Amino acid sequence: MMRENASMTDRGYAVVTGASSGIGAASVRALVNEGFQVIAAARRVDMLAELANEHPLITAWELDVTDQASVDALAAHLSDKTVNVLVANAGGAFDGTTVADADVDSWIKSYDVNVIGALRSIKALIPALIKSGEGTIVLMGSTAGRIVYESGGSYTAAKHAVAALAETLRLELAGEPVRVVELAPGMVKTDEFAVKRFGGDKERAAKIYEGVAEPLTAEDVAEAVRWSVMLPHHFNIDLMVIRPLAQAAQHKVVRKL
Mean per-residue pLDDT pooled into runs of 10, the chain (257 residues): 42 97 98 98 97 98 98 98 98 95 97 98 98 98 96 97 98 98 96 72 82 95 98 98 96 92
Catalytic position from the list 13, 111, 155, 209: 155
Q: Which residues are within 8 A (CB) of 195 and not within 5 positions of it... i.e. 6 or more apart?
A: 201, 202, 205
Do residues 84 and 132 touch, judged by C-beta distance below 8 A?
A: yes
CA distance 162 to 156: 10
Q: Which helix (H) or strand (E) holds 140?
A: strand 135-140
Domains of the chain, start order: 13-245 (3.40.50.720)
CA distances, 63 to each of 70, 73, 156, 237 (Å): 6, 9, 24, 27
Say if residues 38 and 233 touch (Cβ distance below 8 Å). Answer: no
d(CA 1, CA 32): 14
Catalytic annotation present for 149? no
Instruction: Give backbone dihedrals phi and psi of 248, rounded to 5 degrees, phi first.
Output: -75, -25
Q: What is the pTM of this model?
A: 0.93
pLDDT in the model for residue 195: 66
Residue 133 falls in which region: left (phi positive, over 0), alpha (psi -120 to 50) or beta = left
CA angle 104, 106, 110 (to 5 degrees): 120
What pLDDT was estimated at residue 217?
97
User: For residues 221 and 182, what is the distance between their CA atoms, to the nearest angstrom?
Assistant: 12
pLDDT of residue 8: 47
